[in-house]
């Protein structure tokens, strides 16, 4: 039996990763360490609560005693660090939590990992840091981020993730620990918190609320379906050479405004126009731009294709339809997140 300590597994990508891993490998078990912040929803993994291969541990990655205890008791073979503050807009209005969790929290995990692994060149456990392409800064109309693109983070979020990546890299170089880093593009799919572009737009469009598009809507993101990302993480975790970094992208670039129109058209096709007769595109409202808004992200994912045979399997239109299906089928989940009642479950469980 292999044991994986996942941090941040109640969030969007972590919960998808845990479910995929347990489905794909009967000989793996998962310990999920999560502080259940606003972004961590116990509902996301409620179906696994009775699975003997899944254990939830409520706590902060910055709590060294707790992390030490988990490592000593559970003896993981892998640590996959998803736990983070993840929303750029929140990092602009309140960066402190990003420094605390993304930098200090990752540092604490690394120190506990170092102490757990002991001697140099230990192959007892590997540490996979899940990071972002935002560490590379912004692209103009041309070009792609590769693993050798210099770091040039622009938002407090991106700077905090870049800082954590540097620490992970340094722990490999200095202490010869078995670490890995992945930098992925914008994920979308089931269970994403409706503050990020795609689920926010679906949710608002369902309710007939404004669809706020920042600036001129011409910023470009490279959309990666979450299950494709999680398959890549499994491969990197199990097969990659120690110390490697991999970029993971969807080959799915689109301007924000085009994406929002696509979503509106799909919802109109499925549900008909809004009760007042308007088409959902009429809800689009151009609003003031995000401070320091990065223009374009796009990933060159050749290295992971060559080394590990990974390619994304989901094109944006298909992934979008699957995502809309999921949100339409899970409107109770969406309602509980929107009205805040999903926190009640958390309070009942953990006080």
Which residues participate in catalysis according to the annotation? 133-134, 157
Min. distance of Cβ 309 from ligand NAD in angstroms?
22
Find the helix or strand (DSSP H, E) in which 202 lies: helix 197-207
In the region spanning residues 22 to 51, those forming contacts with ligand NAD, defined by CB under 6 A, are 34-37, 39-40
CB nearest ligand NAD: which residue? 11
The phi, psi pair for 34, rounded to 5°, reads: -145, 140
User: Between β-strands 220-222 and 253-255, what pairing exists: parallel, antiparallel or unpaired?
Assistant: antiparallel
Give the one residue of 25, 151, 214, 326 binding ligand TYD; rule: CB under 6 A: 214
Q: Shortest approach of ligand TYD to residue 294 CB, angstroms?
A: 7
Q: Rule CB under 6 A: is residue 193 a binding residue for ligand NAD?
A: yes
Distance CA 205, CA 98 (A): 30
Binding mask 72-111 for ligand NAD (x = CB under 6 A): ----------xxx-x--------------x---x------
User: What residues pair up with 130 in beta bridges, in sequence order?
Assistant: 182
83/81 Cα distance (integer angstroms): 6
102 binds ligand TYD (CB under 6 A): no
The values of phi and psi at residue 154, to 5°, are: -105, -35
Count each helix (H run) and each strand (E run) in the chain, helices first.
13, 13
Return d(Cα 111, Cα 178) in angstroms, integer.
13
Q: What is the largest CA-CA distance in the chain?
A: 68
Residues between 219 and 248 that touch ligand TYD (CB under 6 A) = 219, 221
| 319 binding partner (options ligand TYD, ligand NAD, none; Cβ < 5 to 8 Å by kind) | none
Contacting residue, 108, 149, 179, 256, with ligand TYD by CB under 6 A: 256
Residue identified by tokens 């990763």 is 17
Q: Which is nearer to ligand TYD, 54 or 82 (CB)?
A: 82
Q: Does the footprint of ligand TYD cover residue 91 (CB under 6 A)?
A: no
Residue 218's contacts (CB-CB under 8 Å, 6 or more residues apart) are: 255, 256, 257
Three-state DSSP state, 287? strand
Beta bridge partners of 129: 81, 181
The span from the CA of 270 to the CA of 230, in Å, is 29
Binding mask 238-267 for ligand NAD (x = CB under 6 A): ------------------------------
161 lies in the site for ligand NAD, by CB under 6 A: yes
Does 308 engage in binding with ligand TYD (CB under 6 A)?
no
Would you tell me which residues interact with ligand NAD (CB under 6 A)? Answer: 7-8, 10-14, 34-37, 39-40, 60-62, 82-84, 86, 101, 105, 130, 132, 161, 184, 186-187, 193
Site of interaction with ligand TYD (CB under 6 A): 88, 186, 196-197, 200, 212-214, 219, 221, 256, 290
């Amino acid at each position: 039996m292999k044991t994986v300590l996942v941090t941040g597994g109640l969030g969007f990508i972590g919960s998808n990763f845990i479910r995929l891993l347990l489905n794909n490998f009967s000989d793996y078990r998962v310990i999920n360490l999560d502080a259940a912040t606003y972004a961590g929803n116990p509902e996301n993994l409620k179906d696994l609560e009775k699975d003997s291969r899944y254990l939830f541990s409520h706590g902060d990655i910055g709590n060294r005693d707790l992390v030490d205890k988990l490592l000593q008791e559970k003896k993981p073979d892998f640590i996959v660090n998803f736990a983070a503050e993840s929303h750029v807009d929140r990092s602009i209005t309140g960066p402190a939590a990003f420094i605390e969790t993304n930098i200090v929290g990752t540092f604490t995990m690394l120190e506990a990992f170092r102490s757990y692994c002991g001697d140099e060149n230990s192959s007892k456990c590997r540490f996979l840091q899940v990071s972002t392409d935002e560490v590379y800064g912004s692209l103009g109309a041309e070009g792609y981020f590769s693993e050798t693109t210099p770091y040039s983070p622009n938002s407090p979020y991106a700077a905090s993730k870049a800082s954590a990546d540097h620490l992970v890299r340094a722990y490999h170089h200095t202490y010869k620990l078995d670490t890995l880093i992945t930098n992925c593009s914008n994920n979308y799919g089931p269970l994403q918190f409706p503050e990020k572009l795609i689920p926010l737009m679906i949710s608002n469009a369902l309710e007939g609320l404004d669809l706020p598009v920042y600036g001129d809507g011409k910023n470009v993101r490279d959309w990666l379906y979450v299950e494709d990302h999680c398959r890549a993480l499994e491969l990197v975790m199990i097969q990659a050479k120690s110390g490697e970094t991999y970029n993971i992208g969807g080959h799915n670039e689109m301007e924000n405004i085009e994406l929002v129109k696509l979503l509106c058209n799909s919802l109109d096709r499925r549900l008909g126009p809004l009760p007042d007769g308007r088409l959902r595109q009429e809800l689009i409202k151009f609003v003031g731009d995000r401070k320091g808004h990065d223009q374009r992200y796009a990933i060159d994912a050749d290295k992971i294709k060559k080394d590990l045979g990974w390619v994304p399997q989901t094109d944006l239109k298909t992934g979008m339809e699957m995502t809309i299906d999921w949100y339409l089928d899970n409107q109770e989940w969406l309602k509980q997140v929107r009205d805040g009642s999903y926190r009640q479950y958390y309070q009942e469980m953990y006080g």
